[in-house]
A and B are shown apart, each in its own frame.
Chain A
């Protein structure tokens, strides 16, 4: 099975719903170790993405992702804006000109996006950031693709790994971003960035299973 333009639009729409539904929860997590705006920021960003694409959606999957990236960069605010913006910018480049994405293309999309986030934020695994959910997800998706899994199969593995990674941030001490100012007091809280990153993967899996 391959996914096309509609599936990409579906994923972005699902993200709008997911971040709207999780707005309070993300903000709560952020209130514990950050500045209590992550839920609002993500919700605002993806609502704006939806509005922009509803007005005029490009025909190519890469262009759709690039439009989303530019909107996120401008509307999310905080570190999440450039980080998620970069994710979609690189993802867009990875599937530029493609009308349909094969399982390998999906892995390439996430790989480009996740590498972008890592380069932009310079976070290492264990810093208590988005990366702690995204890198395990990428590794699991690659392994599944190597075994010959279809898109639904590799996304399921990705979601499971992202969730484990997200939960794994709870005992960590933050070393990047605002939470790092808390030092040891950041221990015991789940990272809001890892949580929104998990939701990013999960929404793709849910949308593309159908």
Chain B
């Protein structure tokens, strides 16, 4: 429950505002007045001590919002904040909202279970409704910021090729939501005002591309952390590897010498197919116009449709993630944010109130405006996003119109032609019946084509109107490698293409088989290659890429982006789903590794000058036993069904390991008492990430069941160099002799203690490092799924004897550059 404090110069005004707020709060918001002074002779005024008392009286862990009238009320409230315990200060927020409107808005958000930040945001824009009624412009969302709080800013240059497009924008908004701060972004290169970091439309509308400068500004208690996190995100390529970004389409200029009529388009998804053509006619949605009798009823209908559309989008997200991977799924995350965009929803709600139109027409008008704003950009990639927005918007419209199926799918193997397709439509295709896709519009970089590529359906786009005139049932051949489509190919051409199709399918299958072959060195030493995953959906991808199991399941995905920690049931269900997806293969679950660059709103880490040397990993868990025990119980319960292992991050001492063991024993006893089934004697591993752990590795090896070397952190702690700080990146060299020595000591300690030593982290996937790691004696690698085929290939290049030779030579060298040049020869 959030608290609300009303500060006014007048006791009666404060009480009156509280009465209004209580009416909407329905007992679900704690409300207190701090009006006037305690001095009856000078009753008009404000008193910081009264404000302090009021805050204390409604204080709870969900926080307190303080609204003030004018002038010294703000000074008294900020003085009261200073008088409050330091621990509580962070949970109290002074809000510059208009007193009456703000109080009512905040109370209604609080009554609906909204967070402090949501209540504050709603309160600050509470004048919008009144402004619409009076007929003036509402206060803009990015108006003058609250001066009572310190601001932070940073300017970053975007480095990834496609800039701030839908996927990174979605991730940026999700990241921004982790912090208690109001954040705006501005494209300095392009000029055009600031965009609130909560609105996907506005963030996309910045049109920020590679090489352009973006200013991040934040206000609020976690402004500094927010700016740092977003600057890191934007400055480091928005988390994108440019080789994964969609490629610029290649036209296929050379038409094969074919007698049949053929059309040339853009090669969007590889593959060949020959089949009869089926034309897809998109069902149009009838928009009910006219006047709505009851704007509130329309609002309710819209909310229900939005909820349904979000549900559908979430389904698409999950499906895409498991079938095509996280990167492809990103678009649906962006669409989710579009359907949650406060700026858009505000605009629709205002329109409903002001024009008394139907939910359909208000939604259509405002969502179309959002899409057309994107289309107006000269930038092809950005205007491409207009289709994604329209896709998400149509999901809402279809629900409002009571329609759920847009068209009939073919039942026999066919090649589809359409004007354009959305990703959600492609998702419904079955590659057994949809052999190929021909589109009039589109490019190679839409999400629908990315999805088709992942599903193995050849696509040619940009064919123009001619394809729409081809009669249904006509035999067509499609070549997605060259961007060509033949209408009624003759028997010879059809046979050639059929045989190319067989080759193509055979190559795909061969790749799949090869993928499942276990890794081994040239002389036959079996090496285990596992995947690092962070989600239920990743498990399927890991198997698809040939992982023998999961070396590290990062559990942070369950904890990030939410207001409270997941409970035991939710965690157990997630772990169990993953374990079952792996079908008995190894699943090593790393307990929550928070701190460092990762923060959660419900774990108060506090201000830290050096977060990476601060409260993180096992340190947090041992300080928050409640969270730790809950997670351990969820893991132990999973172990009742499938074999799982438990991995402890950031261990620096034996004490931490034995304390963690105690927690595990306690959790076992609790489960015993509760009579819940769980797996006993679970294997417990230690992450070797800190030089201290290497130094005491013999002791740790006696107590732990296995080691997992976290190379990323071990490198940065050994060399005291932050890999994300470009000035010291060259220092954080994994081939530094000190790092190799750390690896050697850890592996030898593991061998002496008779326990396995695995390596996870980027170093494991670096082909340059492969002989060294093999030579040192690593027999288990864990890398992110897309890197698995490459790693298996690198392992198969080496024999153990050669790897040991190279390793011996490398260990004798004393500079990173000498070691690198040795490895490159």
Residues on A close to B: CB < 8 A?
44, 70, 73-75, 77-79, 81-83, 85-86, 89, 120-122, 177-178
Contact = CB atoms under 8 A, between A and B. Distances in A.
B71 interface: yes
Which are the 7 A-B pairs with shortest beta-carbon distances? A82-B75, A77-B45, A79-B72, A82-B79, A73-B48, A82-B76, A74-B47
A120 B75 contact: yes
Contacts of A79: 71-72, 75
Given A73-B48, A122-B147, A82 B37 contact: no
B82 A73 contact: no
Contacts of B82: 86, 89
B45 A73 contact: no
B548 to A, nearest CB: 59
Nearest to B37: A77
15 contacts: A70-B49, A73-B48, A73-B76, A74-B48, A75-B39, A79-B75, A81-B47, A81-B72, A81-B76, A82-B72, A86-B82, A89-B79, A120-B75, A120-B78, A121-B75
A41 to B, nearest CB: 8
B38 interface: yes
B825 interface: no
A78 B72 contact: yes
Interface in B62-102: 71-72, 75-76, 78-79, 82-83
A98 B405 CA distance: 78
Contacts of A74: 37-39, 47-49
Given A77-B37, A78-B45, A81-B45, 14 more contacts: A73-B76, A74-B47, A75-B37, A75-B39, A77-B39, A77-B45, A77-B72, A81-B75, A81-B76, A82-B72, A82-B79, A120-B78, A120-B79, A121-B75
Interface of B: 37-39, 42, 45-49, 71-72, 75-76, 78-79, 82-83, 147-148
A154 B37 CA distance: 38
A76 to B, nearest CB: 9
A77 B39 CA distance: 10
A18 to B, nearest CB: 21
Contacts of A85: 48, 79
A52 B38 CA distance: 16
Contacts of B72: 77-79, 81-82
B42 A44 contact: yes
A79 to B, nearest CB: 4
Given A79-B72, A82-B48, A73 B147 contact: no
Contacts of A82: 46, 48, 72, 75-76, 78-79
A73 B147 CA distance: 22
A44 B45 CA distance: 14
Contacts of B49: 70, 73-74
A177 B76 contact: no
B803 to A, nearest CB: 62
Contacts of B47: 73-74, 81
A77 B37 CA distance: 8
Given A120-B79, A122-B147, A81 B42 contact: no
Nearest to A178: B71
Nearest to B48: A73
A73 B49 CA distance: 7
A73 B47 CA distance: 6
A77 B76 CA distance: 10
A121 B46 CA distance: 15
B630 to A, nearest CB: 40
Contacts of B38: 74
Contacts of A75: 37, 39
A180 B78 CA distance: 21
B71 A81 contact: no
Nearest to A41: B42
A80 to B, nearest CB: 8
Given A77-B37, A81-B76, A177 B71 contact: yes
Contacts of B148: 122
Contacts of A73: 47-49, 76, 79
A79 B148 CA distance: 15
Max chain B CB contacts within 10 Å: which of A75, A81, A122? A81
Max chain A CB contacts within 10 Å: which of B46, B79, B147, B148? B79
B470 to A, nearest CB: 70
Contacts of A78: 45, 71-72
Nearest to A83: B75
A89 B84 CA distance: 13
A75 B37 CA distance: 8
A78 B37 CA distance: 10
A78 B49 CA distance: 14
B531 to A, nearest CB: 51
A71 to B, nearest CB: 10
A68 to B, nearest CB: 14
Nearest to A44: B42
A77 B43 CA distance: 9
B199 to A, nearest CB: 28
A65 to B, nearest CB: 14
A177 B70 CA distance: 10
Nearest to A122: B147
Contact of A77 (B42, B78, B79, B147): B42
B79 A86 contact: yes
Contacts of A178: 71
B719 to A, nearest CB: 39
